[in-house]
Chain A
Amino acid sequence: MDKASENNKHVYWNPYFGGFLLGLLIIFTFYMTGRGLGASGAMKSSVVTLVDKVSHEHTVNNGYYSKFVQGDESPMNTWLVFESLGVLAGAFISGSLSGRIGFRVQHSPKITSRRRLVFALTGGVLFGLGAQIARGCTSGAALSGMAVLSTGGFITMLAIFGTAYLFAYFFRKNWI
């Protein structure tokens, strides 16, 4: 890699520009589909599909999985799964253009990769659990909710960021 692109690795868009485009995208999404964006939904569909593959009987009898399995249609055949495939591709294109592609574990120099991975796993489990309880994550509940002034969206947003600030002190060694 030449020096110019090496130096550009950390050059990101102006956050207000990125936010403005994201706002336009949310408007476009509502204009087209009547709904907002999402992310955790695709992971939920993946879990439902995996469990359904192992035991269809179990998914039908479970109060939660059974909401997402209907007839012969695959639980993967949902809008959010296709959207998330797009997200993967879009992020890959952006990363390629800026030379940010590569297998690595990103962490503060003060901690080990192993510690970073343990915390990443724990954080993921908690986020996955919380997103099911609140019926959506930062994208689906908070951001898309706020775009239509949903009370639940605002409550979820305040709860996510409020709690994260409250607990930031305990996790500081991982980041600063």
Chain B
Amino acid sequence: MGPLIPNGILTDEWNIIIAVLIGLAFGFILEASGFSSSRKLAGVFYGYDFAVLKVFFTAAVVSVIGLYYMDYLGWIEMGMLYVHPTYVWAAIIGGAIMGVGFVAGGFCPGTSLCAVAIGKLDAWIYVFGIMIGVFVFSEAYNVFEGLYNGSFLGNITLVDSFDIPASWIIFGVTVIALAAFFVSDIVRKRIKKVFY
């Protein structure tokens, strides 16, 4: 019955080994999908390459359907899984700042690590930038503290927020993802190709 380590089925020592193995697979999948190329990643914002949209939403839909099925079958206990907490304004403002950083730098942290691994020097600089960003936030924590800890709604899910069953939400997310895939293919055909 999962999750295995929090339930004590696997001992804590496995945590580190599993961390490295999961990281290996994560890095391999991202790099093989082309996420070590900033020009490929940025394509999603200009309509010449929708790999980010397709990989990201396929992964989101597969994982949410899979986890809820495993919960239904009794293989995993949904209530024990860590739900990213909701701090409304921190999520909106933090997300907005990340959005500008994404289109300016062409990476997000995970993809930049993949690009670092294959020798992209722009990614090395980008990671250095992330560290400066973390440093700035920490040193000016007093300024951000209100935003960081404010508008806290708890570790809630969309089921709590909208008060409709998870199955309907998952169905809705899946339909939106499929529609986005369909539209993205139409858009890409109309946009001038960019070679990179």
Contacts and interface: CB of A to CB of B under 8 A. Distances in A.
Interface string B130-148: 1111111111011011011
B63 A27 contact: yes
A146 B60 contact: yes
Nearest to A146: B60
A151 interface: yes
Contacts of A91: 27-28, 30-31, 36, 113-118
B117 A88 contact: yes
Given A34-B81, A124-B127, A155-B92, A86 B20 contact: yes
Contact of A124 (B114, B128, B158, B159): B128
Contact of A131 (B24, B98, B132): B98
Interface of chain B: mostly helix, strand, loop or mixed = helix
B82 interface: yes
A62 B141 contact: yes
Interface of chain A: mostly helix, strand, loop or mixed = helix
B84 interface: yes
Nearest to A122: B104
Given A104-B121, A175-B39, A86 B24 contact: yes
A32 B120 contact: no
A102 B85 CA distance: 40
B104 A89 contact: no
B187 interface: no
Contacts of B100: 123, 126, 163-164, 167
A43 B131 contact: yes
A155 B133 contact: no
B2 A141 contact: no
Given A20-B58, A148-B81, A151-B153, A87 B27 contact: yes
Contacts of A101: 118-119
Given A37-B26, A100-B36, A105-B122, A167 B99 contact: yes
Given A32-B18, A33-B5, A43 B59 contact: no
A12 to B, nearest CB: 4
Contact of A15 (B58, B108, B110, B173): B58
A82 B58 contact: no
Interface residues of B, number: 133
Contacts of B98: 126-127, 130-131, 134, 137-138, 156, 159-160, 163
Contact of B24 (A37, A90, A105): A90
A37 B24 CA distance: 12
A141 B72 CA distance: 24
A87 B114 contact: yes
A90 B31 contact: yes
A141 B95 CA distance: 10
Interface string A111-152: 000001101111111111111111111111111111111111
B6 interface: yes
A166 B20 CA distance: 37
A141 B40 CA distance: 22
Given A86-B27, A141-B91, A175-B39, A121 B45 contact: no
Contacts of A135: 84-85, 87, 90, 94, 148
Nearest to A82: B19
A28 B126 contact: no
The 3 closest A-B pairs by CB, nearest first: A123-B105, A86-B23, A124-B129
